């Protein structure tokens, strides 16, 4: 996974295997599967290698490989050599090397890594939580979009979801109350800090870059809180379908663990061919 906040980059370089293992858990699978399903709702039905996609902080390459299998040429970018090693092996095993490119780089250096208007699709999944200046990363991502039809998918940690996590999973009412206004939380995988977003703060940041949301989806609304008697493995497909339904409804999406926003340039500011 991803890009560093200050000196926290070590957790992503040294924890690649831990992250790969997490993606195999029901929680990790749901986060990836739901985000990709939401993305597919807005991708061309007949994708081709003429489309160019960038996966910022590709991690082990799971989402990028799915896009490449649909025919899209994908560039996988990550700060961590260990993550990219796993991604490169996965690309080779999937037999899609000819329509993928792997690059090591920092999300905060996008402007120096790629030319403006290089991509039709850009994924910025679980990146903004870990960078010092998320607005700058979104600004540089927008600069790389190829005109008004290009699509940006952003996935971030949802602040209201942290309230429910603290109260329901941990039974910590003090922490739950603190999370109501918290700008930072603690993530369990690497035991480090993570920036928290609300729907309003994310939409505002996108608007500053002349981006307009096509859709907002909640990711993992209630699956984290199911009782242990409900097998996450045996009932995975049912849970996934229920999550898809809940994530599309604002009243449920508001308390999801993650917010996903699919955005394009606002029509009044888009410049085709850039």
pTM recorded for the entire structure: 0.90
CA 129 – CA 185 distance, rounded (Å): 10
CA 58 – CA 124 distance, rounded (Å): 9
Residue 221 and residue 247 in contact, taking contact as beta carbons nearer than 8 Å: yes
H or E element that contains 151 = strand 151-157
Q: How far is CA 248 from the centre of its chain?
A: 17
Q: Where are the domains of the chain?
A: 10-265
Domain 10-265: give its CATH superfamily: Vaccinia Virus protein VP39 (3.40.50.150)
Given this model, what pLDDT does residue 190 score? Answer: 72
pLDDT in tens, 1-33: 444 444 455 556 567 888 889 999 999 999 999
- Give the dihedral of Cα atoms 183, 186, 191, 192; nearest 10 deg: 0
pLDDT in tens, 41-58: 998 766 677 899 999 999
CA 265 – CA 23 distance, rounded (Å): 31
Residue 252 and residue 156 in contact, taking contact as beta carbons nearer than 8 Å: no
The mean pLDDT of 72-84, rounded to a whole number, is 95
The percent of residues above 90 in pLDDT, for the chain, comes to 81
Q: How far is CA 54 from the centre of its chain?
A: 12
């Amino acid at each position: 996974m991803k890009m560093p906040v200050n000196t926290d980059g070590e957790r992503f370089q040294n924890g690649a295997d831990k992250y790969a293992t997490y993606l195999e858990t029901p929680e990790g699978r749901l986060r990836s599967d739901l985000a990709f399903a939401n993305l597919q709702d807005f991708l061309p039905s007949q994708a081709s290698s003429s489309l160019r996609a960038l996966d910022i902080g590709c991690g082990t390459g799971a989402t990028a490989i799915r896009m490449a299998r649909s025919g899209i040429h994908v560039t996988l970018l990550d700060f961590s050599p260990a993550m990219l090693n796993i991604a490169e092996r996965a690309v080779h095993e999937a037999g899609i090397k000819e329509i993928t490119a792997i690059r090591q780089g920092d999300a905060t250096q996008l402007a120096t890594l790629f030319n403006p208007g290089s991509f039709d699709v850009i994924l910025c999944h679980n990146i903004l939580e870990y960078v010092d200046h998320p607005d700058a990363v979104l600004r540089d991502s927008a600069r790389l979009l190829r005109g008004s039809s290009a699509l940006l998918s952003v996935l971030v940690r949802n602040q209201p979801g942290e309230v429910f996590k603290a109260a329901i999973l941990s039974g910590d009412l003090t922490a739950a109350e603190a999370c109501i206004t918290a700008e930072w939380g603690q993530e369990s995988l690497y035991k480090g800090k993570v920036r928290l977003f609300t729907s309003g703060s994310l939409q505002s940041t996108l608007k500053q870059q002349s981006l307009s949301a096509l859709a907002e989806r909640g990711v993992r609304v209630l699956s984290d809180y199911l009782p242990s008697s409900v097998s996450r493995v045996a009932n995975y497909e049912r849970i996934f379908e229920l999550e898809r339904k809940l994530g599309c409804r604002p009243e449920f999406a508001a308390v999801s663990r993650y917010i996903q926003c699919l955005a394009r340039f606002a029509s009044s500011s888009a410049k085709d061919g850039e």
